[in-house]
Structures are given as structure tokens and as C-alpha cells.
Chain A
Amino acid sequence: MSCKEIYNDYEVKLDQNYYVINGAIYETPGPYMISVRKVLPYTNNVNSLMDTLDNVKDAEVRIKSDKGENVLLTEISPGVYKTRKHDIKGEIGHKYSLYVKTNDGDEYESAFVEIKKAPEIASIDAKIEKRPVLQTDRYGEQYVEEKEGLNFSILSNSSLTSGNVKIDTRIIVETIHSEGESTVFCWFQLKDEVPNVKVLNSVSTSDLKELPAMFLIPVPNLPATKTRSIKITYGYIVEVKTYFIDSVQYKYYSEVKEQLQAKNKIFDPVPTQIKGNMRCISKPEKEVYGNFNAASVSVKQSFFSWVPGLVNVYKKDMLKTVVIPEADCKRNLAPKFWQKKN
């Protein structure tokens, strides 16, 4: 009967080099990163591309501002360019643009983007909910199961009356293990899979709007290893960043979101070319992909602890934003960002 299968009988060759340029400047101090990569001919086996990313070396990359700043970025690894810490910093009310000249001579530039104050976050909350969630069993088979989890949301506390907002959510999952006589503190991160963008209408302090951040299913207890025992999941640090974005940025992120969510699954999609604000100024007809954003950021972190089955969620607002490194473990000594329930 009805079924779907991967369609492999399709091969594309591109007639020339196309580039994808991405990056941003924020109100927070740098450095800021810009990436320049080549667009690849479509293949059904995207996984095989992971190792063959065609990063673009030796490009001239600059960030310009309406104040006359023109900062050259340094290539720190193939295709990745970085500002120095004090070269440039985004400021609210000013406009910024990205310029790139690739080594084949083509020049690209973004539109100027103005930094506007990001909506402040009043609080991060969590509600216990049940939702159907796609699961994968140990044989790799997928199935849908209704799971209990935490629905994180934020309350905006901005004087913003209308506009577009992008919300980035990161959750640091903390687990504790015992290894012999030692206690091991581990953590790893969960991020939004798709851009979370919203249009706000008439949001004011007296009319706080609840914005969805992320739904989290409790991470199962990690399996025991030869040296490490099972220990319960301890808690979650939820970090939410909000950005005020203009309508061009909103359009870009919503198109990305729409493609990644792949709506209208069983029907032909609307053909799209997700165009950010980059343009090829030396050859106006040439396509270029990617986006340059300039924004202020509002950050809020809160700690939550919850055991599935219980009706209460423990919450503690973090008074000071902490820097949380990538996934790692520490023996016996809890890292600095580590939160306690009381």
C-alpha cells in the first residue's frame, strides 16, 4: 500500500560556483564569526557531504557600519573568518553590513541592518505536558509515543509594541554519575532544530505574551558503562536569547523554518530559493545564499529540576548569566555553572 521511499535516481551538476555566506554582529562584545562556503550540487545523501564541506579560503571579509567602520576579518580556519575582540561592537541604533570578496574576484554585500533593542525576558517558565513524540527504538524503527515533558516558555517584558522576534533556546542537561569512589558531573546541550521566530503584535508590559521556547522530554538515565554507574538526570539550565529582527530577517528565518519543518509532506512543496540579505554586487544576476544579521540580544537563564511522574517542577532563576562550555564531565568537583536545588 501507500509508502514512501528514498529517491536516489537524481543527479545534479552545477554550472558555476555559488556561495553561502553567514554571520552576525551583536550588541554583545565580539569576536564575531563569518562563514563562507560553497553551495553543493544536490545529492540525496546529505550525510556524505558532511566530510566534504567546501569551505572558501582566502576571501576578503569585512564588516562595515554606518559610522564608517570597516573591519577586515581574519581567516581562522578554512572558510571561517573572525573579528578581533575589540575591532568592532554592535550598537543599538546603528546599521551594519557585511562585505565579502572571494578569490575568484566576485564581490558580495549584505544590506545594512539596524540593531534594535531586543525584547527583555521577564521569566522562563515550565509546564508539564503530554505530547506525541517520534521515538526510535533500539532497532532503529520509528514510532510515535505520547510522552510527558516540560514545555518551556518565556514571558516578554519589553516595551516593544510590534515587530519580529527570534528566540534561541539552549538547554544544558546536567547528570551526575558515580565512578568508583568518585562522583562525575556531566552535561550536554540541546538546541532548537529550527529557527524560532515570531511576530509580536501590541506586546506591552501590561499585556505580557507567552512565547514558546522549547519542549523537552526528560533525557533518560544514561546507560551504565564499564566504569561509570547509572545516575539520575539532575536538572536543566535553560538559556533563552531573544533578538529583535527586521522583516527581511524574519522572512529569511521563517523560510528556513518552513523548509526544515517540511510542511505539506506528502505533496509537492512550494519551490523556494531562500534568499537572505546577501547580494552579488559584481554580478547582480548571480545567486548567493546565506544571511547577515545585526541584533541586540537579551539573555536569561533559569535552572529547573523535575522527575517524570511528579507534578511539581523546581525552578530557580540564575541571577547572573554564566558561560556554559560544550558538553563535558568533571570529576568530584561540580563546575562553576552547576546549579543546586536550593
Chain B
Amino acid sequence: MNFLLRFLTCIVFFINSFIVFSQNISNTDDQKTTNREVVQKIESKFGVVIYYEQRWLDNNTINFVPETAATVEEALNFFTARTNLNFIKVQENSYALVPKEVLKNILEQRDTLLNENDNLIVIGNINSYIKGKKIELNGIVKNGQNGEPVIGATIYIKSLKLGVVSDSKGVYTISLNPGKYTLNVSSLGFEENIIPIKIISSGELNIELFEKSIKLDEVVVLAQSADRNVNRSQMGIVEIDKKILKQIPPVMGERDIIKSFTMMPGVKSTGEFGTGISVRGGGNDQNLFLLENTPIYNTSHVFGLISALTPDVVENVTMYKGFIPAEYGERVSSVIDIQLKNGNNKKFKTYGGIGILNNRLSFEGPLYKDKVTFIAGGRSSYSNWMLTKIPDEELANSQANFYDLILGLNASVTPNNRVSAFFYNSYDFFNYNKTIEYSNKNTSGEIKWTYYKNSSLYFTFIGNYTNNTVIKNDFEIPSEKSTKEISITSIGIKSECNYAPGGKHAIKAGIQANEYLSEPGRLKPYNSQSFSLPKNVNLKKGLELAAYVSDNYQLNDKISINLGLRYTQYMNIGSDTVYNYNGRLIEGNTSGLTPTIYSNNQVIATYQNLEPRLSLKYQFNTSTSTKISYNKNSQYLSMISASAVPTPDDFWQIATNYIKPVQTTTYAIGLYKNFLNNSIETSIEGYSRELNNLIEIKNGAKLYVNEHIETELLTATGKTYGVELYLKKNSGSVNGWISYTFSRSLKKTSGKLPDEKINNNSYYPSNFDKPHDLNLMLSYNYNRRLRFSFNFSYSTGRAVTLPDKIYKSGDNWLVSYKYRNNERLPDYHRLDFSISFDESLKIKKRWKGSWTLSVINVYARKNAYSMYFKKEVPSKDNNYREFGLYKLYIIGIPFPTLTYNFTF
């Protein structure tokens, strides 16, 4: 009965647009009774409402009033028997008149949907069936082997030429008419799953894909759908997962998630093997590294030799380098979103690797039935045997070791509630020639609750914590041994709502709060014998509040738009002491300055920014599209560093009343064209970015443990622009990509006093200016398991400041630097090569091992990492020079590594 009622309701809705209420009709004729009058009389007599379309009644005229009918049904039967209409009861006291032909069609269609009994998967409830109304099919595409969501899977309906792509959680939504369809679900590296369905009303269909044995002629390097570069509405997105990683020659025996980005257009390493990356000319500190939703401040081990996260626990990494969606803030250049695996919900799996620098081990599996899964991984370095082999006295006298650990849990508490959490810890220790000792510790954690209201609406609530502490022990001057501690802590909460109605919209809205606690430096004597004086810079506190909303709207087959707005309010809060410099600080003398003391949590300075985000795609056809984007971003946290490459002395400086937040406006345009059935991708993207309130350091600035750091800093504006070309071959035995970027990154100060001017206030190259950048990645699959990979990189040397004058002052020779970034390091180029023998393709084989032999820097290029001026004791090593300009290179020889990776 319930079904019938709903069914009839649907019919009413179906004819809703044509129907009029009979009560509203007042047209009467004394001479003859019209059908309308008959219906009105029935309504009046029996106290019911009858729905109909006017034109249906106009074609029938009878002169009969059913005065004798005892019931409404009897009256309607009598009436309809003399017309081509039929009636149906919608609900109590309401009926509808429908032409007999129309009703017959509806009933036949219903019966068809109800009675077919083939192999179709039936989705939806017949009680919810409404003819002609668009309904939604949604669900999650998962890896059948481990239950992990499959990102970027294509769900395609050939008959409609309609397709959608699963998102970062594997979720897809597609809008359809009720009916029968065949879903072709595919993702690279997985067997295609063809699913015939019969969809009656909105419903859910979770799909599993299984990894396939790769045939030689089907080798594809991207896990995402091959035409995604053309289809998706956003631009400037780079995605890297384990399938891409496999193609790239590993460094130090390990495939590196973060460094892999530097082979993509617009992304450059700031120093060979350095941890920092520059995205479209931005600084190291302008990239937000998110582990799930938690910011990570130290992303590498051993000054950037390898990334600080074991790759086995990572599902995928996405970089937003152009258009940054509104849900992301905090940084102005890029967001690197690292998604962890959920953990295999089918069986326990173990991954490991034995390399020359470290070994690693990871586990994943179900903990409780199908509800709770875990992932755990860790790495640890060997003893510093490698350093002892280096033919450099100082490095041979050095020590380095590290480890990292991660534990993640995922629990489906109820079908609608999912809770996940992770804990991450990394540690680095480095002792340089027994004169300087660094330790770097990172601790992070997150808990996330996701509530699925229904298939198109879910909410997430996140709390996270991260801390990075660097301790430096300086033994260089034995009588002044000191310990310096620098730390940054971030505590955040976030709530987000995701709503995807009708398959055309993907709406996100959320609120977010982050508290930053920055300790720029605490200096104390290393021991009681040390003459070093204790110095302490007050803890700096900032609170960033944000609210955002965005909609990814598929306007039609050709146009889609991603529109977002982010509002941020930032407060620098106490307790702290703020000095009024009356213009400027004179020669380090702070006496006579009037300090203002702020109590705990008292607001010192407030800033707010409105950050619109827009990305628009116009798709010419299935293989060609063009996109434009516009972004405004702000950043309330900047790294203070004297160097282009990150150093352990660097510290995070929050925005204060003197140091304003960095603001950027970015425009970008791109053209995307695929060839040969998406087997070849090409793109060209151009961008221009304006930057305000950039931090620049004065000449000779005393940056470290300085309570008056603002007096050592300048405000600069900047501009970056560039063009990025990209060509990628996705399939075949030979595949890979080539990218070329031309870009500039320039800065300019506008100070009035001599020491407030850098290069006379004219534009000069920033530390990250490398105009030409070329990357070639080539992979040749000899057979299903044997692969040869080559990677060649070239870039202009980065800008550096070198001394231009030398003079003798007293007994000492001194140098002077005049123009900032007046010179460049020599051009950088390097060729890497690897041979990989992949694991067995036999699905039933439990232990699977793979070997990779790689040679980094094949032709022994001594690429400069940094350049520095140094006074030395004359010796054979320095050609008996007392002073010298030195070039430091990290690897000046072909460096072979052999790695064994395993899984069981």
C-alpha cells in the first residue's frame, strides 16, 4: 500500500507541471454541463480534490451530472467510462485524472522495472520511483585487495557518453534517469569492472576494482584517469602515487614522494637533495605540507636527503600549485596534500625495504572484523658508516642518524560514522665535525570523525597537533659552548561539510582555527663552564580563524566552474613585550625604548583577508580544454632564513604588528590537449603572481635569537611569472614525460633609509629564481617485470649573493657583499638511471620481492648546493689559501644504490 501511495504520488509529480487544481476553475455554462463542471461537482459532493490537465478535459464533453453516485469512485468510474481518461487515487481524498494511454505507459514501465530478472544489479526502491526525475547513483570505488579507496577511477556509461571520476576518498556521484545502464569502471593498474545496473531511484553502489597484471602494451604511469588533465575543472594540480613513483629512479635507494614533484613543471628543488621546494617561484615556507589534515614543518631527513615519511604508508600525494581550493589556506604558493592509506580491511600485509641508508618496515590490516583497520610504518637509519667513507675530513668526523614512525587507525563505528586517527614522530640527529650538533624532532597527531548523513552529504570534524623542535649545540668555540632551541607548534580544529546534490555540484563549507606557538630561539650555555650568555626570545602566539565555502559546479558538458571564498582573521596574541622603535632601532641599542607589555591572550595585532578562488574550464571536446584560474591567498607564518636552502637555524615567525601577513594574487591560464586516445597528454600553463609583504633580511642582519627581529627585516613586494610546457606519454613500452618551465621570481624593497634598501630598491632575483628548468623522465619496460628508467634534469643555477669587494682591515682580510643575489650558482644538470626488477605478477604468491639498482648522477656532475666564503688555515686541501670562495656539492660521483623491497 505504501508503495502504491508513493507510486501515485510520483505520477502526480510527473504531471505536476501541467496540472491545475479544479477548484480554481470557475468557467460555467448554463446550457450544458462541461467536464470541468462535472469534476467540480464531484469534488464538491464528496469533498475531494481532483487533479487533471485542462486540455484533457477540453476534448471530452458530456451533459451528465452523476447525482446518484454513492461513492466518489463510483462517480469517477461513471465519468471516465465516457471519456478517454482514467483516474487514480493519489491519497486519501485526492485523485488524479490521467489519459488512459499515459497511464498505460507508466504502468508498463513500472512493471518492467519490477519484473525483469536478469543479472542486473537493481538500485533504488521502487517506492521512490518517479518517472522522468533525475536520480543519483553514488558510492565508493575501492581496491578489492585491501579496501583502500581508488582515487580517480572513471565510472563511464557508454550509451549516455557520460562519465564521472571518483574523488580523493574514492567517492563518486552520477546523475541519471531511471533505467538500465552498463557502468564501465576503470582505473589505471586495475582490471576494468563492467557492471550492468537497473536503477529505479537514488541509491548507492560501492564498486571494487582489482589490480591487474600489466601487459606490456598497456603500461601506464598514472593512476588517475588519463584524460583527467582535460576533464577536471581545476588547473595546476599534480598527483603522484606509487605507480608514478615506481617509474622514477630512486635516490639513496628509496623512492621519494616529495622530491618526485620536482620533476614536474613549475616545481623546483631549492638545493640538490635539499628538503625545500620552490613552487612557481615561491619560497620554501610558502608550501603547506599536510599529512592528512595536519601541517608538517619538517619534511625531510638529513637536511633533505630523503623525505621524512616512509612511502609505504602513503596512498597518494596531491599538489595544488595553481588553483588552491578554498578549503586550503595558511600558505600562498602551494598545498601538498599527503593522504595515508586507510589500512587493508581484508588481510594483513607487510611491506619493507633494505637500502644503503636505512631500512623500513610497514604493516597494515584489519583489527576488528571489517570495522577497524590499521597502518603502521617506520624507518631507521644505519650507523653513519656512509659518512666515514666520504673523503672529506670534516664530514668523516661527522655523525648522522634518523628514524620516523607512523601509526594510523580507521574505524567504521557505524555505517554512517567513521573515525580515523594517526600519530607521527620523526627524529634527526646530525653532528658536523664535532663542532655543531643538530637534532630535529617532529611530533604530529590527528583525529577525524566523518559522519555520512546520506550518500551526498557528509561532515568531518578534525582536531590536530603538530610540533617541530630543533636543538642546536654549538661547540665551535669551546669556551662558548651553547645550546639553542627553536620550535613551532600548531594546534588546529576544523569542521567541514561536503554536499554533492544532483551530481553537478560539489559544495564544501567549513570553519577552521589554528593556533601557532613559535619559539624563535632560546639560547643557553651548554654547560657551567661555558661563557655563552643565555638569551631568550619570548614565545610568539598567533590565532588564525577561517571560514570557507566552495562549489565545484558542472554547468554543462563543456563548462565547469570551481568557485570558492575563504575568509581569514588572524590575531597576534600575548603574552609578549612589544617595543615602539619610533621609526627605527639605532645600532642594536634598545635602551630608552618604551615597551608595551601584553598579558596572556591579549590581542596585539589583528589582520583579516578575503580570499576569492575561481577556476573555470571550457571543454572543446573530450580531448581538449582550456582553463583559467584566479586566487587570492594569505599567509600569517613565514620562515626566517638567510639561505635559499632550509637550514637548522631557520625559524618560523608569525605575523605581528610589525610583520604583516604575506598576500598573493595569482592568475593562470592553461590549454590541455590529449592525443591518440589519451595516450599522449600535453599542456601549456601560464601564470602570474603578485606578492605583498614578503619578508626580506637586511644586510648583515642578526637573525638568530634576536628579540628585536623586526628591526633586522624589511618588507618587499614580489612578482613571479612563467610558462610551463608538459608532454607525457602514458602507455606503451616506452613512456614518460618531458617538461620545460620558463619562469622568473623577483623581489623589490621600497625602504627610504640606506640600510632599508636592497639593490637600490630595484627588482632583483629572489633566492628561488631559476629561469629555465627542464625535466625528462623516460621509462622503458623491457618486459612485464624488467624496467629501465632515466631521468634528466636541467635548470639555471639559483641566484646567490657573492662578495664583490675584499679589503684588509687591521690584520684581517674582510669581504663585502653589495648587490643581493648578484650572481648565480653554475647551471644544474644531472642524469639518473635505474634498473628495476619488479615483484612477481602471480597473485597467489605470498612473498613478493623487487630489486632496484640505481645510479644517481651518472656523469659525475658536481652540482653546487651552496657557495660560501670561508677563512681557513692554509693547507694542501685549500691550495694553501687563507681565504676562499667554496662550492659545496652533495654528490660529485656516480652514486650507485641497490635496494630490495618486499611485501607479504
Interface residues of A (CB under 8 A from B): 1-7, 9-10, 12, 14, 18, 20, 22, 37-47, 49, 53, 129, 131-132, 134, 136, 139-144, 151, 153, 191, 194, 198-199, 201, 210-212, 215, 247-248, 250-251, 255-256, 259-275, 285, 287, 289-291
Select which of B479, B806, B895 is within 8 A of A1 by beta carbon.
B895
Number of B interface residues at 8 Å Cβ cutoff, please give it. 88
* Distance of A143 Cα from B875 Cα, bound (Å): 11
Chain B, range 617-638, C-beta contacts under 8 Å to A: none
Q: Which residues of B contact A12 (CB under 8 A)?
A: 804-805
Whether the pair A42, B876 counts as a contact (CB closer than 8 A) is: no
Interface residues of B (CB under 8 A from A): 386, 389-395, 397, 432-435, 476-480, 531, 533, 587-589, 642-645, 647, 649, 697, 699-701, 703, 754, 800-818, 820, 823, 826, 862, 864-871, 873-893, 895
Q: Which residues of A contact B881 (CB under 8 A)?
A: 6, 44-47
Whether the pair A46, B886 counts as a contact (CB closer than 8 A) is: no
Measured CB to CB, the nearest residue on chain A to B825 is: A7
Select which of A40, A259, A266, A270 is within 8 A of B888 by beta carbon.
A266
* Distance of A273 Cα from B699 Cα, bound (Å): 6
* Distance of A145 Cα from B588 Cα, bound (Å): 38
**Which secondary structure dominates where chain B touches chain A?**
loop
Whether the pair B823, A10 counts as a contact (CB closer than 8 A) is: yes
7 shortest A-B CB distances, which residue pairs?
Answer: A140-B876, A272-B700, A271-B817, A212-B479, A7-B887, A270-B642, A268-B643
Q: How far is the CB of A153 from chain B (nearest CB, A)?
A: 8
Whether the pair A144, B882 counts as a contact (CB closer than 8 A) is: no
Measured CB to CB, the nearest residue on chain A to B644 is: A268
Whether the pair A256, B809 counts as a contact (CB closer than 8 A) is: yes
8 residue pairs bridging A and B, Cβ less than 8 Å apart: A40-B807, A140-B880, A144-B394, A194-B812, A212-B480, A247-B589, A260-B871, A271-B820
Select which of A47, A136, A268, A272 is within 8 A of B875 by beta carbon.
A136
Additional A-B contacts beyond A4-B887, A262-B869 (9; CB < 8 A): A3-B395, A3-B862, A6-B879, A41-B806, A143-B393, A199-B533, A215-B479, A266-B868, A274-B814
Q: Which residues of A contact B701 (CB under 8 A)?
A: 270
Q: How far is the CB of B470 from chain A (nearest CB, A)?
A: 14
**Which secondary structure dominates where chain A touches chain B?**
mixed
Q: Which residues of A contact B874 (CB under 8 A)?
A: 47
Whether the pair A142, B886 counts as a contact (CB closer than 8 A) is: no
* Distance of A104 Cα from B885 Cα, bound (Å): 32
* Distance of A191 Cα from B811 Cα, bound (Å): 10
Whether the pair A1, B893 counts as a contact (CB closer than 8 A) is: yes
Measured CB to CB, the nearest residue on chain A to B887 is: A7
Q: Which residues of B contact A39 (CB under 8 A)?
A: 805-807, 816
Measured CB to CB, the nearest residue on chain B to A38 is: B807
* Distance of A269 Cα from B886 Cα, bound (Å): 12
Measured CB to CB, the nearest residue on chain A to B480 is: A212
Q: Which residues of B contact A18 (CB under 8 A)?
A: 805, 807
Whether the pair A42, B804 counts as a contact (CB closer than 8 A) is: yes
Q: How far is the CB of B887 from chain A (nearest CB, A)?
A: 4
Whether the pair A211, B531 counts as a contact (CB closer than 8 A) is: yes
Q: Which residues of B contact A153 (CB under 8 A)?
A: 479
Select which of A1, A3, A261, A270 is within 8 A of B389 by beta carbon.
A1
Select which of A3, A22, A210, A272 is within 8 A of B817 by beta carbon.
A272
Given contacts A270-B642, A289-B809, contact A134 B873 (CB under 8 A): yes
Q: Which residues of B contact A46 (CB under 8 A)?
A: 806, 813, 881-884
Given contacts A7-B887, A46-B882, A267-B645, contact A273 B876 (CB under 8 A): no
Q: How far is the CB of B802 from chain A (nearest CB, A)?
A: 6
Considering residues B432, B814, B889, which has the most beta carbons from chain A within 10 angstroms of its beta carbon? B814
Q: Which residues of B contact A212 (CB under 8 A)?
A: 479-480, 531
Considering residues A53, A153, A259, A269, which has the most beta carbons from chain B within 10 angstroms of its beta carbon? A269
Q: Which residues of A contact B393 (CB under 8 A)?
A: 141-144
Q: Which residues of A contact B478 (CB under 8 A)?
A: 129, 131, 151, 215
Q: Which residues of B contact A262 (CB under 8 A)?
A: 868-871
Q: How far is the CB of A288 from chain B (nearest CB, A)?
A: 10
Whether the pair B882, A291 counts as a contact (CB closer than 8 A) is: no
* Distance of A18 Cα from B813 Cα, bound (Å): 15
Given contacts A46-B813, A272-B817, contact A140 B890 (CB under 8 A): no
Q: How far is the CB of A275 from chain B (nearest CB, A)?
A: 8
Q: Which residues of A contact B395 (CB under 8 A)?
A: 1-3
Select which of B643, B826, B885 is within 8 A of A267 by beta carbon.
B643
* Distance of A254 Cα from B806 Cα, bound (Å): 18
* Distance of A264 Cα from B893 Cα, bound (Å): 25
* Distance of A251 Cα from B647 Cα, bound (Å): 25
Q: Which residues of A contact B870 (CB under 8 A)?
A: 262, 265
Q: Which residues of A contact B884 (CB under 8 A)?
A: 6-7, 44, 46
Measured CB to CB, the nearest residue on chain B to A21 is: B809
Whether the pair A269, B868 counts as a contact (CB closer than 8 A) is: yes
Q: How far is the CB of A100 from chain B (nearest CB, A)?
A: 15
Q: How far is the CB of A333 from chain B (nearest CB, A)?
A: 31
Whether the pair B808, A6 counts as a contact (CB closer than 8 A) is: no
Considering residues A10, A153, A194, which has the most beta carbons from chain B within 10 angstroms of its beta carbon? A10
Whether the pair B869, A273 counts as a contact (CB closer than 8 A) is: no
* Distance of A199 Cα from B869 Cα, bound (Å): 27
* Distance of A38 Cα from B433 Cα, bound (Å): 37
Given contacts A2-B891, A4-B392, A201-B533, contact A142 B877 (CB under 8 A): yes
Whether the pair A140, B866 counts as a contact (CB closer than 8 A) is: no
Q: Which residues of B contact A285 (CB under 8 A)?
A: 754
Considering residues A47, A255, A275, which has the most beta carbons from chain B within 10 angstroms of its beta carbon? A47
Considering residues A1, A141, A247, which has the most beta carbons from chain B within 10 angstroms of its beta carbon? A1
Given contacts A2-B891, A46-B881, A136-B873, contact A270 B867 (CB under 8 A): no
* Distance of A206 Cα from B864 Cα, bound (Å): 54
Q: Which residues of A contact B864 (CB under 8 A)?
A: 7
* Distance of A44 Cα from B803 Cα, bound (Å): 10
* Distance of A200 Cα from B816 Cα, bound (Å): 29
Given contacts A10-B802, A14-B804, A267-B642, contact A259 B697 (CB under 8 A): no
Given contacts A262-B868, A273-B817, contact A42 B803 (CB under 8 A): yes
* Distance of A129 Cα from B386 Cα, bound (Å): 32
* Distance of A132 Cα from B398 Cα, bound (Å): 13
Q: Which residues of A contact B875 (CB under 8 A)?
A: 136, 140-142
Given contacts A251-B587, A266-B868, contact A290 B809 (CB under 8 A): yes
Select which of A20, A131, A201, A265 is within 8 A of B868 by beta carbon.
A265
Q: How far is the CB of A31 from chain B (nearest CB, A)?
A: 17
Whether the pair A6, B885 counts as a contact (CB closer than 8 A) is: yes
Q: How far is the CB of A24 from chain B (nearest CB, A)?
A: 10
* Distance of A201 Cα from B591 Cα, bound (Å): 14
Measured CB to CB, the nearest residue on chain B to A2 is: B890
Q: How far is the CB of B874 from chain A (nearest CB, A)?
A: 8
* Distance of A3 Cα from B890 Cα, bound (Å): 6
Select which of B433, B807, B808, B812 is within 8 A of A260 by beta carbon.
B812
Measured CB to CB, the nearest residue on chain B to A285 is: B754
Whether the pair A247, B889 counts as a contact (CB closer than 8 A) is: no
Whether the pair A9, B826 counts as a contact (CB closer than 8 A) is: yes
Whether the pair A255, B700 counts as a contact (CB closer than 8 A) is: yes
* Distance of A45 Cα from B393 Cα, bound (Å): 23
Q: Which residues of B contact A259 (CB under 8 A)?
A: 814-815, 869, 871
Whether the pair B862, A43 counts as a contact (CB closer than 8 A) is: no
Q: Which residues of B contact A144 (CB under 8 A)?
A: 393-394, 397, 433-434
Whether the pair A42, B866 counts as a contact (CB closer than 8 A) is: no
Whether the pair A274, B877 counts as a contact (CB closer than 8 A) is: no
Whether the pair B642, A269 counts as a contact (CB closer than 8 A) is: yes
* Distance of A165 Cα from B59 Cα, bound (Å): 113
* Distance of A256 Cα from B814 Cα, bound (Å): 7
Measured CB to CB, the nearest residue on chain B to A259 is: B814
Q: Which residues of B contact A53 (CB under 8 A)?
A: 808
Q: Which residues of B contact A255 (CB under 8 A)?
A: 700
Whether the pair B862, A5 counts as a contact (CB closer than 8 A) is: yes
Given contacts A40-B805, A136-B873, contact A271 B699 (CB under 8 A): yes
* Distance of A39 Cα from B818 Cα, bound (Å): 13
* Distance of A270 Cα from B701 Cα, bound (Å): 7
